[in-house]
Amino acid sequence: MERQQLLAAIKPRMPEKRYIHTQGVMHTAIALAKRYDEDPSKAETAAILHDMAKYEDVTKMEDIIRRENLDLSVIGWGSELLHGPIAAYYAQTQFGITDQDVLNAIHYHTTGRAGMSKLEKIIFVADMIEPSRNYPGVERLRNKAQKNLDKAMSACVRHSLRFLIDTKQPIFPLTLTCYNDIMNGENK
């Protein structure tokens, strides 16, 4: 599907603010893909679709997880953890996306995981640094993303973990696995 078709399809599923965020992720992910030698059209597709389930009903999403035998570990973690896997499921079933790397980039955009592909890192980082993001420290993350994708990914995960701890929120195990994987790589 072309960019405009995809954007038109996801726009009614979210408030204007999230749509602006989505377009920001799209532009940022395409720029990162070009910079780090990844396919910009894959980055575009994954970015446009990544948050399409963000406002879906939690019970409905949990039902899909059970019915379709998806990863049960996200049950009980709310929309924040459900919307990635469900968006990947919709990408496949409603949009006909078959590229596993694109599907994984959508699936793991909130949690990260060990052994992420370049495209997965691009979407994860782009999600955190797109132009409408405005939180203390975002400028530092943007600068890192210009220089080194792995270092940017590392900084983004550490930023997310610090935020979760500071705001007394639980940490999804996959995010810790992601962090450990990155630290084991950096400390080799």
Q: Rule CB under 5 A: say whether 38 interacts with Fe ion.
A: no
Q: What's the min distance (Å) between Cβ of 107 and Fe ion?
A: 11
Residue closer to Fe ion, measured from CB, 125 or 155 = 125
Distance CA 33, CA 170 (A): 32
CB 125 within 8 A of CB 32: yes
Output DSSP code: residue 170: -
Distance CA 162, CA 168 (A): 10
Q: What's the min distance (Å) between Cβ of 109 and Fe ion?
A: 6
CB 68 within 8 A of CB 54: no
Q: What's the min distance (Å) between Cβ of 5 and Fe ion?
A: 20
- Judged by CB under 5 A, the stretch of 30-38, 48-56, 67-75, 175-183 that binds Fe ion is 48-56
Distance CA 55, CA 107 (A): 16
Residue closer to Fe ion, measured from CB, 44 or 127 = 127
Residue closer to Fe ion, measured from CB, 62 or 127 = 127
Q: What's the min distance (Å) between Cβ of 147 and Fe ion?
A: 23
Residue closer to Fe ion, measured from CB, 80 or 99 = 80
Q: How many helices (H) and strands (E) does the chain have?
A: 10, 0
Distance CA 33, CA 121 (A): 10
Residue closer to Fe ion, measured from CB, 25 or 182 = 25
First to last CA, the chain: 42
Q: What's the min distance (Å) between Cβ of 187 and Fe ion?
A: 29
Distance CA 42, CA 39 (A): 5
Residue among 14, 44, 127, 145 that touches Fe ion (CB under 5 A): 127
Q: Rule CB under 5 A: say whether 51 interacts with Fe ion.
A: yes
Q: Rule CB under 5 A: say whether 120 interacts with Fe ion.
A: no
Query: What residue ranges bind Fe ion (CB under 5 A)?
Result: 51, 127
